[in-house]
């Protein structure tokens, strides 16, 4: 269903080369697992508006950087 409203892009943040051109267009992130979601990653996504986290806790998300946006 969501595919009708948004383009789904799978990206592993452990990849050494993030797809920077693609990241510039992202408005929302669904984080599955406990990958670190840092201010540096958020800086690559100037249109980022929402971060959704599947799991328990948010220690791996830079909440201060997210709130400043």
The string of DSSP codes covering the chain is -GGGTS------TTSSS--HHHHTT--EEEEES---B-HHHHHT-TT--EEEEESS--TTB-HHHHHT-
Instruction: Express each pLDDT in 17-48 by its tens digit.
Output: 778 888 899 999 988 877 888 999 899 999 99
pLDDT greater than 90 at residue 65: yes
Angstrom distance (rounded) from CA 37 to CA 65: 10
The confidence score (pLDDT) of residue 39 equals 95
Mean pLDDT for all residues in the chain = 86
The confidence score (pLDDT) of residue 47 equals 94
Instruction: Kindly list the structural domains of the chain, giving each domain's residue range(s) and its CATH number in brackets, ordered by start.
Output: 2-67 (3.40.50.720)
35: tokens are: 């990958």
Residues in a beta bridge with 45: none
């Amino acid at each position: 269903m969501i595919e009708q409203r948004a383009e789904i892009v799978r990206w592993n943040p452990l990849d050494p080369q993030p797809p920077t051109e693609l990241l510039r267009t992202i408005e929302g992130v669904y984080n599955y697992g406990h990958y670190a979601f840092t201010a540096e990653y958020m800086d690559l996504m100037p249109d980022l508006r929402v971060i959704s986290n599947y799991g328990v806790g948010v220690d791996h998300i830079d909440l201060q950087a997210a709130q400043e946006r």
